[in-house]
């Protein structure tokens, strides 16, 4: 059997898979530091039996031309983002995935963005690095020698006053989407002694109360929260979930954070709210179109923190995902039901797991 790997898998985990394969082929990100183009993927996948993937688009067209493919394992929590699950199911190809791989690291990043925004950490860093708060001949008034030392020659630039921020204790955090990541954000926010409310139609009140969180309607979340953080999956029903109406409900001093997906938010409405300062600021890791173009209007705003879709970029989540998909592949090849499978119905079809594996023993 042949395995194609187009993402980062731990060396020890690959070692566990070696006894099952005659060939393990490493391509894409680990080899050339980029995602394979569709035609490149088609060329590589023609004789492959098992695929471990992260970003390559596994479309119906790709699947049609991959005659030997028996199993797809995604290191993502939502494999549907780049894999045509329906097409794979029609071909009796199970799709494994890695739930919760990013929940901790994205929650950490969300709190980091929130603090960087509200305490002006990002802005302070920018002003110092661009030398806007440096002085060739620093003024040293007596009180500053042993106290507030960053006194500038221009009083209006005094950073202790210019960059005065907002504390978190006692403030209300509204979490839109209370799944794995939303729950982890709530746990961290509780450590800052924040009041936490959430909106998620698929979560029970009892489940939220275990974490000291009150479930509320969406309108109430936007109107009562000092900070709104979005953690919702993108579907046709959630596209544009946050628009002008929701943003108008926010407090004038409210802050908006999105580490989920850009499609969830009406970008033009958010830009207008920030430009007119009907909300205080936003921290955005995701956008409708990525990467941003040099003329993107968000780049000209002084009340935003922008990052290039890196909330999930962390060594630990790759290690976790590597373990999950390795275990799933081994279980499948050993004739056991994998724990995390996006289309379990394929395991109940006419062809059993063992007969599938037998088909490729001679490859």
Which residues are registered as beta bridge partners of 229?
Answer: 175, 257
Q: Is 309 a catalytic residue?
A: yes
CA distance 199 to 214: 9
Enter the tokens of residue 197.
């409310």
In the set 309, 319, 323, 327, the catalytic residue is 309
Contact between 97 and 132 under an 8 Å Cβ cutoff? The reply is no
Residue 313 CB-half CA count within 13 A: 6
Contact between 306 and 298 under an 8 Å Cβ cutoff? The reply is yes
b/e for 325-354, b at 16 or more Cβ within 10 A?
Answer: bbbbbbbbbeeeebebbbbeebbeeeeebe
CA distance 310 to 239: 21
In the set 101, 199, 231, 261, the catalytic residue is 261
CA distance 109 to 286: 13
Q: Is 261 a catalytic residue?
A: yes
Enter the tokens of residue 33.
């530091």
Contact between 214 and 208 under an 8 Å Cβ cutoff? The reply is yes
Alpha helices in the chain (DSSP H): 11-17, 29-32, 38-45, 60-64, 85-90, 103-118, 121-129, 159-162, 180-191, 205-209, 218-224, 244-249, 267-275, 315-333, 353-359
In the set 244, 268, 290, 316, the catalytic residue is 290
Q: Is 268 a catalytic residue?
A: no
Enter the tokens of residue 112.
């980091």
Q: Catalogue the active-site residues.
A: 261, 290, 309
């Amino acid at each position: 059997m042949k395995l194609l790997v187009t993402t980062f898998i731990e060396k020890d985990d690959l070692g566990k898979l070696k006894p099952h394969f005659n060939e393990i082929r490493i391509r894409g990100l680990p080899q050339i530091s980029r995602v394979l183009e569709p035609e490149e993927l088609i060329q590589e996948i023609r004789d492959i039996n098992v695929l471990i993937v992260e970003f390559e688009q596994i479309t119906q067209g790709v699947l049609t031309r991959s005659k030997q493919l028996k199993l797809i394992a995604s290191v993502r929590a939502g494999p549907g983002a780049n894999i045509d699950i329906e097409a794979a199911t029609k071909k009796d190809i199970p799709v494994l995935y890695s739930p919760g791989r990013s929940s901790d690291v994205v929650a950490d990043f969300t709190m980091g963005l929130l603090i960087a925004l509200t305490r002006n950490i990002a802005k302070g860093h920018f002003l110092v690095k661009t030398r806007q708060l440096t002085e060739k001949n620093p003024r040293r008034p007596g009180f500053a020698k042993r106290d507030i030392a960053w006194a500038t020659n221009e009083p209006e630039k005094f950073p202790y006053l210019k960059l005065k921020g907002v504390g978190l204790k006692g403030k209300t955090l509204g979490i839109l989407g209370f799944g794995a990541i939303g729950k982890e954000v709530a746990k961290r926010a509780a450590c800052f002694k924040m009041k936490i409310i959430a909106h998620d139609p698929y979560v029970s009140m009892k489940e939220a109360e275990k974490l000291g969180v009150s479930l509320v309607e969406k309108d109430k979340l936007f109107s009562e929260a000092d900070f709104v953080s979005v953690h919702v999956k993108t579907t046709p029903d959630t596209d544009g979930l946050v628009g002008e109406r929701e943003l108008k409900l926010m407090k004038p001093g409210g802050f908006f954070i999105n580490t989920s997906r850009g499609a969830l938010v009406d970008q033009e409405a958010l830009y207008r709210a920030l430009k007119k300062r009907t909300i205080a600021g936003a921290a955005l890791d995701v956008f409708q179109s990525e990467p941003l173009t040099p003329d993107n209007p968000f780049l000209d705003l002084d009340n935003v923190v922008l990052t290039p879709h890196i909330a999930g970029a962390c060594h630990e989540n790759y290690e976790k995902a590597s373990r999950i998909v390795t275990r799933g592949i081994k279980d499948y090849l050993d004739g056991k039901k994998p724990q995390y499978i996006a289309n379990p119905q394929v395991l109940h079809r006419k062809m059993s797991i063992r007969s599938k594996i037998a088909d490729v023993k001679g490859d």
